[in-house]
Every structure is written in structure tokens, then in C-alpha cells.
């Protein structure tokens, strides 16, 4: 039987090429993703190994010992100092320790030599700087001095050998380093190389003396310590001994274990990337399954007489079914192998392109075992499962079919299909509604299952709904294209299942595109609605971290500035639960920005506002909340609600916050100018004032800020569209494939048309019209579903500030035109085949 299946596949490969390509495309995505993330992971684990290569033991904050209320801390702050010089002495006294040095990391940016502050995002940013204290021992610094000398005086520093020239510095130059407290200047005295090859992924690496580093952090201790053990000493037992002498909340871990821990943490991130990309691959494969179903169904029809003959000479239905499934297995094997190889080569190519920009980033690009497994398993499941229904259909073919003339296929009514389709679509809508609007655990499962049901249901219904609709165009098409249009409409109508499946494959891809477009357009509306309530003239930003207090003081002091109002973000224990807390100035906040709250912040009255999360937890206006921070505890009355979910959970006045939370990192500041101020002139004035100490601080106008947000949203749409491209290509292959197979099936008919004088061009046009009608209808159906689902999603997210559904009209127009063009393209091969048919052979053809 296997031999027969292989023979059958080899005998007529043309009808299976597009099917195999469809499977291969999906598999390719899977293989490429897994290969790339595997290479990235091995690249980073190499980096981690290098970072901790020389260091035997690291003493650092114990992640397990961090109190719940201190977890996270403020998002931008550098690690706290956890070791004092006495601790370092205690570590040095441990048996087996050869050397131990405290580590200090400075949060700051090395400015390029020709840096000019502009107050814009452009020109700022770039890769972050990594600034440490210099121990002078490569085992601890992980860097080796390659030129000049190490930093000896407190106004000296060294940079890595790649960054110094790219920032424009030579040894002897003065280097500017911007930190939260201002700009410091150092003399560049030497160049270092990180690890073996200075592969820093584009970051700038710099070292200064311990005293200079401590001065910049403002701390009197170390964030960690690096320990070198004596030769012959056991690292694990020394680490255990050190563990005895270091303060609570810190731990001693070997360099090797630390590298492994970091790699593991990163691998978790890569796993999410894998899941994300594989989701899109699955979509492509799902669309591909429509093509496989169609192909096998058509093949079974075309081979009805062959199967009938086999049945007549004693092949059982079961054997026939097994044979067709074996054919599917053969295709899956070939297609998965092709997909795997192309995916792997694509990943290798991509990694080389990326590395030509970033330098060493990937480890050795090898084909990981899970990519091989996933490729074959997915390819096999999709192909065989899709071939199952046509195979069952084939097994019921009566041996009498062998005796019938070709093309006298019995037609089954669509009633059952409609009932099942309707039920599935209804259930799907129901499941989506339940997932979106009921408060259940894991709502995405309901939404996902519902969406699949809806798509399958609509596919089934499409045979009854879509095809008659297309058929209704007959008069229009006839008028427009004459007999070609009439024949095209008839052809679509003739095989409603086939046409519906073909259009539905495209529908799925377009549906997802329209869904994302609806979502992102609505997101833009949310953004512009929010900016509509804005009175601020500038937003203050600092791309390198929280906004420095000093910078805000300078801005406030400028003539023409009415006031600056800031929002800080911190964590605190609220009634025993760790919550995110935002601080505002109740007097000014509402004047700068129309927050979505009830009432306004100006009526906080020394109390706190709560967000929907707390409201759901049972807290109401008038209740009292006990807020516990590092500096103190306060019990405050809830005086209002902040209505957007997803921002901070508790909002408190900044004067109260100062007492209980201490210094809070500021993440957003707004500047309001006096009424008659010249905005442009004032902006320049402020940027000049900041240039001395805070050159990296940015003043963004609300318009530019909104534009930036929109650009980001467009980028999101672009990325998702690009990932969906695979599914769309597969869908178009499906259109081409269906047409190609139906051209083969209609060989006699087309031959007859040609014989009675229909021109080649007309045949071409007939196939093209068929293709365009199927594509456009699939697209329209997809857009209806996509916009509908997108609207449901937006409405479900109402509490996050989404209140208007924006229909992406422009995108819909683009998709429709693209579908028509794609229809023309998809028709090229089938139409070429059809128009080239040899008339005599076409009429004489048999079976």
C-alpha cells in the first residue's frame, strides 16, 4: 500500500506541489523561529559565561529573600547597595578567599564627544552605558586593559575599545557622563577589551575608580561583590562559608551557577517569543489545512474511477482510506523536510544579516532537535488530519463508479453542512461573548475556541451563503465580461464546497488582519481622546531612567513656566497587599491633564483614589486604606476613583507619599506655560537651561508625543501583518491550487469551448474572473468577521479606556483592492495552463 501511495504521489506531482508548499511555509516559520531563538539563547549563555568567567563567587542580593513589599521597587532605580566595607572585610577573612572586591554600578550615559542637547528624542537614546568601578583585575572586571592605563585618580576613566572611537573620544580627551544628579567629567586614560572579543551587543562599557563610582551613586556601600578563591579551594564550600558571614538578604553563588541561572531566565523569555511566532505559524498551517482538504477532495473526485476500479478488483474501503492517508503522509514528509531545511537556511541567513549590524549576537546556529520534532509533528498532523475527511469519502466510493463515465459525480445536498455550520458559528459567537464579557479565569481560552468554531462554522455556511452571493453577481459579470463572466459565475456555483473552502482560507487571514487593524485604529482613537484632554505644553521625558528632580527644579525656575506637575510610581503595601501606587500633585495635576477619574484629583482632600482592580476587590469610596511604605504608614480615606484599569492601582497626593514612601521615581512630568508664553522660544530657553547638567532630558510637545504613540501603534500593526503574511500567501496558493485542479478537471469542457471558437484570452479572463470573485468575497467576509471580532475585543477592554470602536475604513479599502490584485496573480498559472490546452488532446482526454 505504501508503495502504491508513493507511486501515486510521484505519478502526478503537479497537483500536490501547491499543497506541499502550503505545508512547507507553515513548517518553515516554526523551524526558523526555533532555530533563531535557540541560537540567540546559546549566544547569550555564552555571553553570561563570559561575564562570570573569571569570577568564582558572586555575593549579591538574594532574589528569594526580597520582601514582598520591596519587590520590583521603582522600575528605573539601580540596585540598592547591600554590602558595606565591613562585609567585604568579613568575606576576605573566609578561608580559601584569595581576593574579594565590592562592585558598584553607576546609572548614567556616556555622552558622545559632539553631543548637543536638543530636547528631542532624536539624538538622544542609543545603546545604554554600563559604568562600573575598576578593580584592576581581569578576573573581576571581566575586561583587560589594552591601551593606556587604568583609572587611578577619581577624575579618570576607561572605555571599551569599540565605544571610545564611535563616541569620538581618544585617550587624553575629557569624557562627559550624564547621571541623575548632573553631568560629570572624566579624563579618558585607557581602553579596555571586554572578555575575549569585546562583544557587548552595542553597549558602551566604562570603568572609574571606586570612590568616583560611589560618589555618583550617592551610596556608601556596594551592590555586590566578586570573589576569587585560592587555587585548589573548592568553590562550593567557599561559597557556603561566605554565606555564613554576609548580611541577611544576600547570597553567595558561584559564577558558573549564576551564568546558568541567567541563561535559564532568558530562555523563559525566548519561550514566549517561540510561542508568539509559533502561534502565527499555526495560523498559516490552519489556513493551509483548508488547501489540503480541498486538494484531496478534488483528487478523490478526479480519481473516482480509479478508486472504483480498485474497489471492483477487491480493495476494501479501509485499504483505500489508508492509501490516501499514506499519500498525505508522503506529502507531509516531503513538505516538512523542505520547510525545515528552508526555515533553517532562512534562520542562518537572517542571523548573518542581523549580526552584520549588531556584531556577535547569536551562538552557533545549529538545527535544534525541537525544531526538527515540531516541524515533522506539526506538518504531519495538519496534513493527515486535513486528508481524513476526503479519505473517508473515498472509502465510500462504490465500485460501480469505475463503470460510470467521468465527471458524473453525485451531488449531496448542503442541508447537513448548513445545520452543522450554523450551530458551530452560533456556539463560536457565544463562546467569544462568554470569554469577553463574563468574568472567568483564562477568558482567552473561550475567545480562542470560539473564534475557531466561528471560522469553521462560517466556512461551512459559506457554501450556502457566499457562493449564491457570488452567483448573484452572474448578471453583473455577464454584462461586464460577456460569456466569460457568465461561465466564471457558473463555475463558482458548480462546486459550492470547493469555492467556499477556497474563499474561507483567505477569509481567515484577512479576518485576523482586520481584527488587528480595528484594534490598533481604536487604540489610536483612545490615544487622541486622551490627548484631547491635555493642557500641558510639554511632556518631560528621560530615556535613560526616571526624570531627575534637579531637572524639574530648573524647569520650574524658568520665566514663563506656570507650573510643572509630576506623577511618580512606586510599590507599597495597601491593606496587606502589594500594590502599585502613583503619586500626583492634587493642586496642579487636573489643570495639566484631564484624567479619567471621578471626581477630579483636585478633590482628593488628603485621601486616595482607587482603580477598578481595588473596586472589584470590594473597596468603595469612603472606606479607609492603610498604606505601608519604607518610611512610614498612613491610614487614608478613599475619596474617589481612577477609572482606567491597567495604570497604577492606588493614587495618593505627593505630599503624603513623601512621608510614607520617601523618594519616589518620577516617570511623567508635564509643563504648563503661562498663557501668553511663546512656546517655541520657551522650549529653547528650557533646553539651554538643562544643557549643563541634564543634557539627556527631553521636552516633547503633546503633538509629537501623540505622533510617537501612533507610530508605535502602526509598527505593531506592521509587525503582526508581516507575520500574518505567511497565512495570506498560503491562502492565495489555495486559490491558485483550487483553480489549477479545477482546470484539470474541466479539461474537456475547456477544450470544447476552445473548439467552438472561444479565444485563449477569453479562457484566461474566465479563470481570472473566477479567481478575483473568490478572493474578493473571501476578503469581504474576512473583514466583516475581523471588524466584528475586533469591535467585541475593544468593547471588552472598555475599562482600560477603550470606549469607541474605530472601523479601519482605509485598511479595508486597501485589503479589498489587494484581494482583487491577488486574485489576478493567483489566476496566472491556472489560466496559463487552461489557455494553453491542446484542443484535440483536451477533447480526447480520458480519466
Interface residues with another protein (CB under 8 A) are: 4, 7-8, 10-12, 305-306, 309-319, 398-400, 402-403, 846-847
CB of 845 to another protein, least distance (A): 11
Minimum CB distance to another protein smaller for 20 or for 239: 20
Minimum CB distance to another protein smaller for 311 or for 498: 311
Minimum CB distance to another protein smaller for 316 or for 635: 316
Confirm if 22 and 726 have CB atoms less than 8 A apart: no
CA end-to-end span of the chain: 22
CB of 326 to another protein, least distance (A): 13
What is the spatial distance between Cα 22 and Cα 28, in angstroms, rounded to a whole number? Answer: 10
CB of 312 to another protein, least distance (A): 5
Backbone φ and ψ of 189, nearest 5°: -110, -10
Q: Which residues contact 362 (CB under 8 A, 6 or more apart)?
A: 36, 39, 40, 42, 43, 351, 354, 355
What is the spatial distance between Cα 373 and Cα 531, in angstroms, rounded to a whole number? Answer: 50
Q: C-alpha distances in angstroms, 499 versus 87, 632, 734? A: 76, 70, 10
Closest CA to 235 of 95, 68, 375: 95
What is the spatial distance between Cα 612 and Cα 800, in angstroms, rounded to a whole number? Answer: 9
CB of 22 to another protein, least distance (A): 22
Minimum CB distance to another protein smaller for 308 or for 339: 308
Please, is 480 exposed, middle or buried when counting C-beta atoms within 10 Å of its C-beta (0-12, 13-18, 19+)? exposed
CB of 387 to another protein, least distance (A): 17
Minimum CB distance to another protein smaller for 3 or for 442: 3
What is the spatial distance between Cα 612 and Cα 801, in angstroms, rounded to a whole number? Answer: 11
Q: Which residues contact 373 (CB under 8 A, 6 or more apart)?
A: none
CB of 321 to another protein, least distance (A): 13
CB of 315 to another protein, least distance (A): 5
Minimum CB distance to another protein smaller for 59 or for 326: 326
CB of 526 to another protein, least distance (A): 60
CB of 847 to another protein, least distance (A): 5
What is the spatial distance between Cα 378 and Cα 283, in angstroms, rounded to a whole number? Answer: 12
Neighbouring C-beta atoms of residue 97, cutoff 10 Å: 19
- Rg of the chain over Cα atoms, rounded to whole angstroms, equals 34
Minimum CB distance to another protein smaller for 309 or for 795: 309
Minimum CB distance to another protein smaller for 61 or for 398: 398
What is the spatial distance between Cα 664 and Cα 653, in angstroms, rounded to a whole number? Answer: 12
Minimum CB distance to another protein smaller for 309 or for 818: 309
CB of 282 to another protein, least distance (A): 33
What is the spatial distance between Cα 293 and Cα 737, in angstroms, rounded to a whole number? Answer: 11
Confirm if 389 and 293 have CB atoms less than 8 A apart: yes
Minimum CB distance to another protein smaller for 299 or for 826: 299
What is the spatial distance between Cα 755 and Cα 253, in angstroms, rounded to a whole number? Answer: 85
Backbone φ and ψ of 833, nearest 5°: -60, -45
Minimum CB distance to another protein smaller for 67 or for 838: 838
Minimum CB distance to another protein smaller for 307 or for 471: 307
Neighbouring C-beta atoms of residue 352, cutoff 10 Å: 11
Task: Walk across the sheet containing 97-103 and list its strands.
Answer: 97-103, 224-229, 57-61, 250-254
Sign of CA dihedral 202, 207, 208, 213: positive
Minimum CB distance to another protein smaller for 271 or for 396: 396
Given the C-alpha cell 528569594, which residue does it identify? 64
CB of 838 to another protein, least distance (A): 15
CB of 744 to another protein, least distance (A): 13
CB of 394 to another protein, least distance (A): 14
Minimum CB distance to another protein smaller for 323 or for 728: 323
Confirm if 657 and 583 have CB atoms less than 8 A apart: yes
Q: What own/partner pairs with CB < 8 Å and gap ≥ 24 does 311-315 have? A: 311/397, 311/398, 311/399, 311/401, 311/402, 312/399, 312/402
CB of 309 to another protein, least distance (A): 7
Amino acid at each position: 500500500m505504501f508503495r502504491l501511495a508513493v507511486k501515486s504521489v510521484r505519478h502526478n506531482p503537479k497537483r500536490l506541489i501547491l499543497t506541499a508548499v502550503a505545508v512547507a511555509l507553515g513548517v518553515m516559520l516554526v523551524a526558523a523561529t526555533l532555530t533563531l531563538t535557540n541560537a540567540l539563547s546559546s549566544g547569550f549563555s555564552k555571553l553570561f559565561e563570559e561575564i562570570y568567567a573569571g569570577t568564582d563567587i558572586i555575593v549579591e542580593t538574594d532574589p528569594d529573600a526580597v520582601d514582598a513589599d520591596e519587590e520590583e521597587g521603582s522600575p528605573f532605580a539601580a540596585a540598592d547597595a547591600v554590602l558595606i566595607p565591613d562585609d567585604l572585610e568579613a568575606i576576605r577573612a573566609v578561608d580559601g578567599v584569595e581576593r574579594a572586591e565590592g562592585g558598584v554600578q553607576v546609572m548614567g550615559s556616556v555622552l558622545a564627544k559632539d553631543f548637543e542637547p536638543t530636547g528631542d528624542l532624536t539624538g538622544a537614546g542609543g545603546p545604554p552605558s554600563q559604568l562600573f568601578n575598576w578593580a584592576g583585575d581581569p578576573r573581576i572586571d571581566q575586561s583587560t586593559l589594552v591601551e593606556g592605563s587604568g583609572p587611578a585618580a577619581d577624575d579618570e576613566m576607561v572605555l571599551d575599545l569599540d565605544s571610545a572611537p564611535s563616541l569620538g573620544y581618544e585617550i587624553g580627551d575629557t569624557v562627559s557622563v550624564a547621571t541623575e544628579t548632573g553631568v560629570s567629567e572624566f579624563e579618558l586614560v585607557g581602553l579596555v577589551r571586554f572578555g575575549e572579543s569585546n562583544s557587548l551587543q552595542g553597549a558602551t562599557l566604562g570603568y572609574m575608580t571606586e570612590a568616583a563610582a560611589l560618589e555618583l551613586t550617592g551610596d556608601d556601600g556596594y551592590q555586590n561583590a566578586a570573589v576569587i578563591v585560592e587555587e585548589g579551594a573548592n568553590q562550593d564550600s567557599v561559597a557556603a562559608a561566605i554565606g555564613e558571614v554576609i548580611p541577611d538578604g544576600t547570597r553567595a553563588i558561584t559564577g558558573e551557577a549564576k551564568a546558568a541561572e541567567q541563561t535559564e531566565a532568558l530562555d523563559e523569555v525566548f519561550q514566549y517569543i517561540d510561542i508568539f511566532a509559533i502561534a502565527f505559524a499555526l495560523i498559516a498551517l490552519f489556513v493551509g489545512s483548508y488547501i489540503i482538504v480541498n486538494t484531496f477532495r478534488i483528487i478523490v473526485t478526479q480519481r473516482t474511477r480509479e478508486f472504483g476500479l480498485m474497489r471492483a478488483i477487491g480493495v476494501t474501503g479501509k485499504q483505500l482510506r489508508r492509501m490516501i492517508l499514506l499519500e498525505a503522509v508522503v506529502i507531509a514528509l516531503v513538505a516538512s523536510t523542505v520547510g525545515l531545511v528552508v526555515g533553517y537556511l532562512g534562520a542562518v541567513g537572517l542571523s548573518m544579516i542581523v549580526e552584520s549590524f549588531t556584531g556577535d549576537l547569536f551562538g552557533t546556529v545549529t538545527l535544534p532537535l525541537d525544531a526538527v520534532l515540531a516541524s515533522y509533528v506539526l506538518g504531519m498532523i495538519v496534513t493527515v488530519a486535513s486528508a481524513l475527511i476526503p479519505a473517508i469519502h473515498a472509502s465510500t466510493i462504490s465500485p460501480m463508479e469505475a463503470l460510470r463515465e467521468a465527471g458524473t459525480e453525485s451531488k449531496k445536498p448542503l442541508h447537513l453542512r448548513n445545520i452543522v455550520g450554523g450551530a458551530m458559528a452560533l456556539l463560536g459567537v457565544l463562546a467569544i461573548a462568554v470569554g469577553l464579557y463574563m468574568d472567568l479565569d483564562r477568558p482567552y481560552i473561550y475567545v480562542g475556541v470560539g473564534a475557531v468554531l466561528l471560522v469553521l462554522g462560517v466556512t461551512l455556511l459559506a457554501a450556502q451563503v457566499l457562493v449564491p452571493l457570488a452567483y448573484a453577481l452572474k448578471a453583473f459579470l455577464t454584462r461586464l465580461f460577456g460569456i466569460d463572466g457568465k461561465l466564471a459565475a457558473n463555475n463558482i456555483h458548480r462546486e459550492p464546497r470547493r469555492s467556499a473552502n477556497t474563499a474561507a482560507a483567505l477569509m481567515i487571514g484577512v479576518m485576523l488582519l482586520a481584527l488587528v487593524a480595528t484594534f490598533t485604529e481604536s487604540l489610536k482613537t483612545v490615544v487622541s481622546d486622551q490627548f484631547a484632554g491635555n493642557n500641558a505644553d510639554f511632556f518631560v521625558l528621560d530615556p535613560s531612567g526616571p526624570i531627575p528632580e534637579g531637572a524639574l527644579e530648573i524647569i520650574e525656575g524658568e520665566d514663563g513656566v506656570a507650573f510643572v506637575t509630576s506623577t511618580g510610581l512606586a510599590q507599597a503595601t495597601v491593606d496587606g497587599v502589594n500594590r502599585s501606587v502613583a503619586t500626583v500633585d492634587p493642586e496642579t495635576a487636573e489643570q495639566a491633564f484631564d484624567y479619567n477619574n471621578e471626581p477630579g484629583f483636585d478633590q482628593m482632600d488628603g485621601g486616595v483614589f482607587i482603580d477598578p482592580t481595588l473596586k472589584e476587590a470590594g473597596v468603595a469610596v469612603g472606606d479607609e486604606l492603610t498604606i505601608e511604605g519604607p518610611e512610614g504608614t498612613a491610614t487614608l480615606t478613599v475619596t474617589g476613583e481612577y477609572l482606567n484599569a491597567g495604570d497604577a492601582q492606588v493614587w495618593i497626593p505627593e505630599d503624603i507619599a513623601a512621608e510614607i514612601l520617601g523618594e519616589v521615581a518620577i516617570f511623567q512630568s508635564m509643563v504648563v506655560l503661562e498663557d501668553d508664553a511663546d512656546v517655541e522660544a520657551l522650549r529653547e530657553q528650557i533646553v539651554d537651561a538643562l544643557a549643563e547638567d541634564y543634557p539627556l532630558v527631553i521636552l516633547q510637545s503633546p503633538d509629537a508625543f501623540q505622533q510617537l504613540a501612533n507610530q508605535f501603534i502602526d509598527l505593531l500593526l506592521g509587525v503582526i501583518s508581516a507575520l500574518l503574511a505567511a497565512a495570506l500567501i498560503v491562502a492565495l496558493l489555495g486559490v491558485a491550487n483550487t483553480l489549477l485542479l479545477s482546470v484539470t478537471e474541466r479539461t474537456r469542457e475547456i477544450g470544447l469551448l476552445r473548439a467552438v471558437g472561444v479565444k485563449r484570452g477569453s479562457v484566461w479572463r474566465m479563470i481570472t474572473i473566477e479567481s478575483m470573485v473568490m478572493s474578493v468575497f473571501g476578503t469581504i467576509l474576512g473583514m466583516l468577521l475581523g471588524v466584528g471580532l475586533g469591535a467585541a475585543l475593544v468593547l471588552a477592554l472598555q475599562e482600560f479606556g477603550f470606549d469607541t470602536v474605530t472601523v479601519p475604513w482605509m485598511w479595508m479599502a486597501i485589503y479589498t483592492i489587494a484581494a482583487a490584485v491577488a486574485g489576478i496573480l493567483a489566476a496566472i498559472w491556472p489560466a496559463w495552463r487552461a489557455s494553453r490546452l491542446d484542443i484535440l488532446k483536451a477533447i480526447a482526454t480520458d480519466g
